[in-house]
Structures are given as structure tokens and as C-alpha cells.
Copies of this chain bind each other. A is one copy, B any other.
Amino acid sequence: MKAGLGVDIGGTNTKIILISERARALKEIRFKTESQKGYGRFLGALSENINCLKKEFSRAKISGAGIGMAGDIDSDRGVLRFSPNLNGWRNIPLAADLGKKTGFRYVMENDANMAAWGAYVLELKKKAQNVLVATLGTGIGGGLILNGRLYHGSTGSAGEIGHALIVPDGEKCACGNSGCLEAYCGSGAIVKRAFSMIKDAAAYRNRFGAGPDLKINTVALANAADAGDKTAKKVWAETGSYLGRGFGSMILVLNPEYLILTGGVSKGARHFLPSMKKALREFRIRTPFEKVRVIVSENADLGSYGAALYGLHYGEHVPQK
């Protein structure tokens, strides 16, 4: 049986998945990334997990392996150049390091690129040519499928949509610049905007907080909006408006057939899509906007699936040692 291995490394969690050729999950593993404890420890934990999985599926032919990683990736060399979300890690040759420890050859991409490939295969069955996939979470990433292929750009950095400017001299962003899309529509920014409007935070937590510690996160805000809460509704409407402005410019540049929204924040789509679509209607060059279809992907694991699928796709080029 042929199988593909996918690794998705995010700021909080790392996921490992083994899928069949038909994209059926055979095994999933999830652990805390804990990048602040250092790369050596992380590499040890990751390779150990993969080696266990390899033993468990010793009869499977793992013919492709992919890594998606939050950060600036040199995909030609399989090196993480820099990741603000991974404790500022720099120049980490993860593909080679992990290859040595596990015996696979890994194709490595920005996590949003892998998620884009996952969405392209799983949501669209590759039945489109030009697709913009936006991963809306703590950070905002993007991946592009152009002319039916994953588009990397010249340094593997294409699709860094989270740091496109939407408000000149606007809100401070984690990247160091101001006015980035992420500074308005990343989950942290959304929650912060909500808190700036909430008068009695304790009461709000009691009423809408999620989980045992009554956290106000984007899930809580989506539920609050469902319950008719005006603050949450306003925050989501603003979020949609910012997203529409940002995506509108990208749709003009890229003229895609699909815009696919994924990631945790996209769970609030029912609340932000109306104002997002309204903002898209403000653009007057109509043809690209009449063409593009907006899809929300419910698949929470596009990053790891995408990494495995892209690994399989490139299996011939990166054969198992």
C-alpha cells in the first residue's frame, strides 16, 4: 500500500499525518511545538514520532513526505530561513535534519502553500487553474495555485498575504510593520478589537467565554454573534470589511477562479462573509469579481493533508532513500 507522510508545523501545534493515496487518514499525531524549548528538542520529538509511525506502518510504502512550516521557507534547499511564530528560529535545515533521522526525503514549503495544495486537491479535485487560498488564524498566510501548479515565487515566499498593507500607518503588526491585513484580521487582532468594545469583560466572559477557562477567542465571538451579541456582530462585520478590501486587491492582481478560506478564523465566516462580499462589490473592475467564487473549507487539517498530498505528488522527484 502506497502512503504519503505529512508534517504541519505551526506556532502552537505540530501535526503528523499518514494518508493513503486516496487521501484517507491512516494515522494522525499531534504534539505541542514548544519552539521556545529549542530546535534540538523539537527535532528529537518530531523524528521520534515519525520513526514510531514508520514502525507501525512498516508494510506501507511511504512514497512521499512533505513538511509545511509557518515561516519563510527556502523550498529549494528545505531550509526555514526565519519564523517569527517559531521563537524566531533562523536558518534551520529541517528537511535534511529530519531526513537523516527518519530515512525519508522531504519536500518542504511554507505551511500556507501546503494548505493551499491540500485545498486544491481536496476541495476542488484540481478542477481549477488559478486559486488563492487564505489561511486565517493567529497569523494570516496564503498559497497560490496558478496554471494548475503550486506557485512559489522567486524565493518560495509567494502568497505572504497577511502582511499586505490595508491601512496606511495603521495598527501595529507582529511583523514589525503597521497596517498589515493580519493586524486587523488575525485572530489576536479580532479578539483585541472585541475587548476594546466590551465594557464589562468579566460578564462577557461568563456569558460567551469558550472552554473551562471562559476564553474569549474567535470561536467564542462566533457563538456570541450567533446569540445576537452586538459587539461580536460588529467585530465580525469589521473583520469582513477589512478582509474584503485586502482580498479585493489580490483578486485584481491574480484574477483567480476561487478564493478558499481556511483556518480557525474562517469558522466565523457566517458572520464576516456578508460584509466581506459587500467590500468586494465596491471594486469596479467587475470581471474578476464576477468570476471568483469564495469557498470556506471546513477541513481543519489542510496543512498536514496538503503536506502529505504534496509529498506524494512530488514522490517521484523526492524518492524514499
Contact = CB atoms under 8 A, between A and B. Distances in A.
Interface string A135-162: 0000000101011010111111111110
A319 B248 CA distance: 38
Tell me how many chains of this kind the complex includes.
2
Contact of A177 (B144, B254, B256, B283): B283
B253 A142 contact: yes
Interface in A257-292: 257, 282-288, 291-292
B256 A157 contact: no
A210 interface: no
Given A130-B153, A130-B154, A257-B154, A164 B287 contact: no
Interface stretch (A12-20, A100-108, A165-173, A296-304): A165-173
Contacts of A175: 283-285
Contacts of A159: 253, 255
Nearest to A179: B245
A96 interface: no
Given A168-B166, A176-B284, A287-B72, A255 B155 contact: yes
Nearest to A144: B253
Contacts of A168: 166-167, 245
Interface of A: 72, 81-82, 129-130, 142, 144, 146-147, 149, 151-161, 163-168, 173, 175-177, 245, 248-250, 252-257, 282-288, 291-292
Given A82-B286, A130-B154, A159-B253, 18 more contacts: A72-B287, A82-B287, A144-B253, A146-B151, A154-B255, A154-B292, A155-B288, A155-B291, A157-B252, A157-B291, A161-B253, A163-B285, A165-B249, A168-B245, A175-B283, A175-B285, A176-B284, A253-B253
